[in-house]
Chain A
Amino acid sequence: MIADLGIAFGRVVFVMMFVLNLGGLLTWVERKQSAIMQDRIGANRASILGLRLFGLFHPLADAIKMLTKEDFRPARADRFLFGLAPFVSVFFALVAFASIPFGDVLHVSGREIPLQAVTLNVGVLYVFAMLSLGVYGVMMAGWSSGNNFALLGGQRAAALMISAEIAIGASIIGVIMVYGSLDLQSIARAQGELLWGWIPKWGILTQPLAFVLFLTAGIASTKRIPFDTPEGESEIIGYFVEYSGMKFGMFAMADFLETVVVAGMTTALFLGGWQVPYLVAAGFHFPWGATLALPPLVVTLLQVGSFITKVVVMIFFLMLIRWTLPRFRYDQAMRLGWLGLFPLSIANIVLTGLVLLATRPA
């Protein structure tokens, strides 16, 4: 009983710490990556006892700065909702990762430990639901500020996120059809099968169109460049103009956390989740016949490492896009969502259905 509770607690804490710390680290990655891309040096001033560590202390300095700043509330603001909004934003971004598996089921001394925070047989829907609830934080922030520009920013955010989520939902359906499950763990497991005996059956190969559509819509749902019309920190006014201090920081954090969630979902659905090519429970089984037996613990560590690597690479890619593309105008983003992504997702569903019907084993 105690052991079970401890294991459950450990799983939840591991996922939460993974997402939170990765999200915090992303502020540093964003600065350094953009600096390298633009041939700058980037943040390197924060130092502890002369130690600078490539600016790794900057997230820490940021946190101290945000926490000690004045927490200002406009006179016309709705007191309760103004305070609640950033928490709603962060909460739903944080819990969304819970059903994404970071490893296969672990067998330790007769116990089965699924390597994910919660096992849900509708895991895909859960992540999707949590992402869609995140809209409320943004809308509440825009409305409760008592500022028309913030309200308009909130409206832009809501419209953008709704159109992105519809495209996300429609593009996921193709993946669900191919792997025949709503459970992220069984989707990840099914991606370990081999196509024609040697190609790993990853989602990016079976559903290439859905991968592009999901990634585009996913970037839009994080409200980051090129889809940052709701925020537009530097030029246009966004939903969090009236926020200062840590509450402002929480909105920025929610965007980073959503980036982690989108990268995690992309990994779980399209990049084989925790799968390492040709690695099965007993060790490597290469298609040319060679085998390499490995102890179960090493296999699990390799799988978890593979998952984390894929998520980090995915985040790096998302950041690359963020520093490469210019911002879409609001109507362009809307048109892309409703006239580009959504119809293409529907076409992908129809196409997937036809292919599945044609290749069905009789």
Chain B
Amino acid sequence: MMARAAFLVIAGIAVAAALALVLRRNTVHGALFLVVNLGCVAALYLMLGAIFLAAAQIIVYAGAIMVLFVFAIMVLIPGKEETGPDPRRTWRLLAAPLGGALLLELILLVVGRTAAPAPTGAAPSDNVAAIGRLLFTDYLLPFELTSVLLLAAMVGVLLLARSREGSAEPQGAGPEASVRGSAKPQGSEPEASLR
């Protein structure tokens, strides 16, 4: 009973935040609403007993990725009055059918399985160890492939940042800028961070 009420409240906030993200014109507000939404999803994980997942969700999505999003929006995206109308306005026409298709798929999925899978018997008190074991046994290949993908992305970013070094404009005083400053430890850094 309590759990149901809590779920309804959290899910309600999550949906409201997601709607606000789409409907708000102010991009910074939108991004902050997305943070609220991610926090609600973490709370739902918490209610399911997946404490580690909830913590990871907060740290990775809300604490790291969204901080960079908000950072970039605040620095790089000026107000509407400075940019004028969006040049790719017509692309928005695509949004409705694509979103509709996604919604349809979701509805089909939900309708397809009415009975929720029963929770596994063991109380997930120490799910950190369980997740770790799964990642390094059953899901080793996807796990390693993901790390290779991230490594490739990181090297790509370094390359993009480096190629601009010749031009006169010193772009952005972010973390990348100082990494770019010295050449020596760059090679070892991205590799090491994934290990």
Contacts and interface: CB of A to CB of B under 8 A. Distances in A.
Interface stretch (B110-118, B145-153, B156-164, B176-184): B176-184
B17 interface: no
Contacts of A350: 192, 195
A242 to B, nearest CB: 16
A162 B125 CA distance: 30
Q: Chain A interface residue count: which class?
A: 35 or more
Nearest to B59: A129
B175 A133 contact: no
A151 interface: yes
Question: At the interface, is chain B mostly helix, strand, loop or mixed?
Answer: helix
Contacts of A335: 178, 181-182
Given A120-B51, A121-B128, A163 B71 contact: no
Contacts of A339: 178-179, 182, 185
B40 interface: no
B184 to A, nearest CB: 9
B63 A133 contact: yes
Contacts of A159: 71, 173-175
Given A122-B51, A139-B71, A132 B64 contact: yes
A158 interface: yes
A240 to B, nearest CB: 16
B175 A334 contact: yes
A297 B60 CA distance: 41
A353 B188 CA distance: 18
A338 B178 CA distance: 8
Nearest to A336: B178
Given A159-B175, A331-B178, A343 B192 contact: yes
Interface in A89-144: 120-122, 125-126, 128-129, 132-133, 135-136, 139-140, 142-143
Interface of B: 28-29, 32, 35, 51-52, 55-56, 58-59, 62-64, 67-68, 70-71, 74-75, 125-126, 128, 173-175, 177-179, 181-182, 185, 188-189, 192-193, 195
5 contacts: A122-B55, A125-B59, A335-B178, A343-B185, A346-B189
